[in-house]
Amino acid sequence: MANNRKKTKKRNFIYHIHPPTVPWRTLKFTLTWGLGGGALVLASMQVITGILLLFVYSSTMSKAYDSILILQHDVLFGKLIRNIHHWGANFIIIVLFLHMLRVFFTGAYHDKRKVNWWTGLGLFFCVLISNFTGYLLPLDQLSYWAITICTNMFEYIPYIGIPIQKLIRGGAEIGQVTLSNFFAIHIALVPIALAILMLFHFWRVRKAGGVIIPVSLNEDAGDESKRVPSVPHLVIRELTVALVIIAGLFVFAVFFDAPLSGKANPGMSPNPTKAPWYFAGLQELLQHFHPFFAVFVIPILLVSWLIGLPFLKSGNNYGGTWFVSAKGRRMGLISVGIAMIIIPVMIIFDEYFLNFAAGTSEISSMTANGLIPVAVVLGFLFGLYGWFQIKYEALKDEGTQSLCIFLLVSFIILTVTGILFRGPGMALCWPWNITLSEIASIH
C-alpha cells in the first residue's frame, strides 16, 4: 500500500505539469519548434548563473565594475558563468519573440487561448525589463551611456515623461540610487513576476488543451486510440530539446565573451552612443520621426494592438494552420518583398534629402515636420491593406497578417540599420566603416 501511495504521488506531481496522455499529433516538433520549453530552459539557466554571479558582484558605484573584473580574472570559471548569463539573456528575447510569432502565425491566440497570449506578452515585457535593468549592472562605459540614452527618451513623453525618468534613475542623473534600483528590480521583482506569470501561463496552456493542432492533422481528433502517454513520449522530447539548448549555450559562451569596455565615465560619452540591440529599432525611429511619435505614440499603438489582437475575429476556423491559408502565405511573402524594398529606400531618402526628424526635439513643436512622416506611413499602411483586400479578396485574418508581416519586417530592417549602418553621429555608413567596438556596443 505504501508503494502504491508513493507511485500515486509521483504520478500526481508529473501529471500536474503534463496530462497523463497527449494526442500523438502534438508530438510533431514543427508544431512548436520547442520554443516555449526552450524559453523555460533559458530562464532556468539565468536563475542559476545569476545566483552564482551574486557571490562576487557588488552593487555600488565604486565597486561594481571592479567586481566584474575580479569575476572574469580571479574567479574559477567566472568568465564562463558571466558569458552564459549574458548570452542567455539575449537568446531568451529571441526565443520568446519567435515563440510569439509562432503563436500569431498559427492563430493560437483566439477564444480560450487569448489569456495565454496576454500572459505571453507579460512574460516578454518582463524579460525586456530584466535585460534592460541587468544591462547597467557591469557599469562599464557602454552600459552606462546606453542606459542614459534609453532613459533620456522618457523626456519626450508629455507631462509624465520627466517624472518617470527621475523615478527610474532615482534622481536627475544615473548614480548609486539608479544602480540600486536596477539591481533590486533585476534580481527580485522581475524574477518573482516571471515565476508567477510562467506558472499561470503553463496552467492556461494546459487548460486550453495544450498545443493547437492544425485542421489538416485533426481529422481523427475523436479517436482516443491515437493518444500516447506523456511519459516517456513527450518528456523525452522536451528533455532532448533542453539538453541541446544548454549545450549550444555553453559552446557559444566558450567561444564568445560578453562585452566589457572601460569603466563608466559620465564625462565622456562614446560616439556613437547606441541603445541595446533590442531597442535599436526604437532608436532608429528617432532618426525619422518626431520624438513624441517615435517614443510615445508608436509604442502605445503597438502595445494596444498586441493586447487587442485576440478580439480581431473573422469567424474562420483555421485551427493551427500556418499563415491562415495558401493565399495568406503568398500575401505574406509579398509583404516581405514590399518591406525590403520600401523601407531601405525611405531610410536613405529621409537621411539624405528630407531629414524630417531634424529640429523637432521639442515636444511642443508639432509642426509639419512631425506630422508629415506619420501621415505618410499611416496612408501607406491603409493603402496596402486596401490593396490586399481588392487584389486578393483577402479575409480579415489574411489582410491583418500581411500588414503585420510588413510591420515586422520593417522593424527588423530598422533594428539592423541601427546596429550595423549607423556610425559616428548616428550617420548612415557601411558596416565595414564601423569599428568592432561600436558594433559590440549593442550587446
Instruction: Supply angle C-alpha 209, 211, 215, rounded to 5.
Output: 95
The pLDDT of residue 216 is 58
- Range of the structural domain that residue 384 is part of: 270-443
Domain membership of residue 16 (yes or no) is no
H-assigned helices in 18-156:
35-54, 64-73, 78-105, 114-136, 141-152
Averaged pLDDT score across all residues of the chain: 84
Residue with cell 485533426: 218
CATH of the domain at 93: 1.20.810.10
Q: Give dist(CA 101, CA 93) in Å, integer.
A: 12
Question: Is residue 275 located within the same domain as residue 409?
Answer: yes
- Which residues, listed in sequence order, are joined to residue 140 by a DSSP beta bridge? 263
Q: How do residues 320-376 score in pLDDT, each as one tens digit?
A: 778 878 888 999 999 999 999 999 998 998 888 777 665 444 444 555 556 777 888
Domain membership of residue 23 (yes or no) is no
Q: Nine-digit cell at 48?
A: 542559476
| First and final C-alpha spacing in the chain | 57
Question: Is residue 194 located within the same domain as residue 277?
Answer: no
- What total number of domains does the chain contain? 2
C-alpha distances in angstroms, 75 versus 64, 71, 80?
15, 5, 10
Q: Give dist(CA 106, CA 32) in Å, integer.
A: 10
Question: Is residue 345 located within the same domain as residue 432?
Answer: yes
Residue with cell 564601423: 434
Question: Is residue 311 located within the same domain as residue 342?
Answer: yes
C-alpha distances in angstroms, 256 versus 75, 82, 83, 443?
18, 11, 8, 12
Domain boundary among 238, 262, 286: 262
How many CB atoms neighbour CB 19 within 10 A?
Answer: 15
Q: Nine-digit cell at 199?
A: 506558472
Question: Is residue 256 located within the same domain as residue 371?
Answer: no
Residue with cell 477564444: 111
Q: How do residues 272-298 score in pLDDT, each as one tens digit?
A: 888 899 999 988 998 888 888 888 888
Question: Is residue 191 located within the same domain as residue 337?
Answer: no
Q: Nine-digit cell at 139?
A: 557599469
| Preceding omega of 310 cis (within 30 degrees of 0) | no
Domain membership of residue 337 (yes or no) is yes
Q: Give dist(CA 169, CA 152) in Å, integer.
A: 10
Question: Is residue 326 located within the same domain as residue 402?
Answer: yes
Output the furthest CA–CA distance in the chain (Å, rounded).
83
**DSSP H helix total and E strand total for the chain:** 17, 2
Residues 5-11 have a mean pLDDT of: 46
Domain membership of residue 69 (yes or no) is yes
Residue with cell 487561448: 113
Domain membership of residue 4 (yes or no) is no
Q: Give dist(CA 429, CA 348) in Å, integer.
A: 11
Question: Is residue 163 located within the same domain as residue 193?
Answer: yes
Residues in the chain: 443
Question: Is residue 203 located within the same domain as residue 235?
Answer: yes
The pLDDT of residue 333 is 94
Q: How do residues 372-411 score in pLDDT, each as one tens digit?
A: 778 888 899 999 988 988 888 877 888 888 999 999 999 9
How would residue 253 be classed by pLDDT, with cut points 50, 70 and 90?
very high
Question: Is residue 131 located within the same domain as residue 198?
Answer: yes
State the number of CA atoms in the 13 A half-sphere of 199 facing the CB. Answer: 6
pTM strictly above 0.85: yes
User: Quick one: DSSP state of residue 60?
Assistant: S
Residues 225-238 have a mean pLDDT of: 79
Residue 422 has phi, psi (to 5 degrees) of -115, 120
Domain membership of residue 147 (yes or no) is yes
Question: Is residue 188 located within the same domain as residue 281?
Answer: no
Q: Give dist(CA 61, CA 177) in Å, integer.
A: 9
Question: Is residue 276 located within the same domain as residue 412?
Answer: yes
Domain membership of residue 218 (yes or no) is no
Domain membership of residue 155 (yes or no) is yes
